Amino acid sequence: MTDTTRTAIEAAFRKLELLPGVESQISTMTDMLVPLYGGDRHPFPAHLRVKDRKTANLEIDKISSVANKLALLLDDLSEPSIDALADSGLLQIIHHDQLSAILKQVATIARKADLSKAAKTGDRGPANHLAKGIASILAHGFETLTGNVPTLVTPADTRQKKYSPFITLVGDVFSALNIDAKPEGYAKAAKESYRPKAEK
């Protein structure tokens, strides 16, 4: 099933008007999407779970706290500990003072994280979140592969049932991954929340 899924996802990407030299990006995005086959029949990836604002606050507070504690531990390291970590290779990659400074910066940035846009209520079900997460991945992938931001097209003649390339991509990938969700709404939500690279 993995090979069939991979082939279908790659075919969906190749329907787009691609920029030259994006083969490696197609492969990378396909690698990211293939494990999501079948929706909630597989362990739900943590980075696609949508939790309520209180839970998100606790997660970010924990990141800030742990990063700060680790920075303080590094600041208080004795010479034997520093030598041992250097011999193990860790502090050959980055000096302990630099690592401590980075961790303190992580703690500070995490404390300032703005969760005002996070939902106040809890989960709405893994299938919805998975579809939302996949559409979000595809919004980023669409600009990477085509150079264009994802758009939605409402045809003048609705009888033609024509969709934008982005909606078609979302629908094709949902089908390849056996995700039971209508692509139009998720494509619209992904497009509305997407920040083009030029604005970042």
Within a domain: 154? yes
152-180 pLDDT, tens per residue? Answer: 875 554 555 557 899 999 999 999 999 88
Count the helices and strands in the chain (H runs, E runs). 9, 0
Structural domain harbouring 81 = 53-111
Angle at 53 between CA 48 and CA 54, to 5 degrees: 115
Q: Give the mean model confidence (pLDDT) for residues 33-47.
A: 66
pLDDT at 125 over 80: no
CB 14 within 8 A of CB 26: yes
Residue 96 lies in a domain: yes
The predicted model gives 76-104 an average pLDDT of: 86
CA distance 174 to 135: 9
**Does the residue 168 lie in any domain?**
yes
Percentage of the chain lying above the pLDDT 70 cut: 83
Does one domain contain both 128 and 194?
Answer: yes
* Position 16 in a domain: yes
The pLDDT of 44-60, averaged and rounded, is 74
Residues 185 and 137 in one domain: yes
Q: Is residue 117 part of a domain?
A: no
The angle, 0 to 180 degrees and rounded to 10, between the axes of the packed helices 126-146 and 165-176 is 130
Domain identity same for 58 and 46: no
**3-class SS letters over 162-179:** CCCHHHHHHHHHHHHCCC
Q: Is residue 183 part of a domain?
A: yes
Q: Residue 68: inside a domain, yes or no?
A: yes
Does 39 map to a domain? yes
Q: Average pLDDT for residues 140-151, to the nearest whole number?
A: 94
pTM of the model: 0.56
* Total domains present in the chain: 2
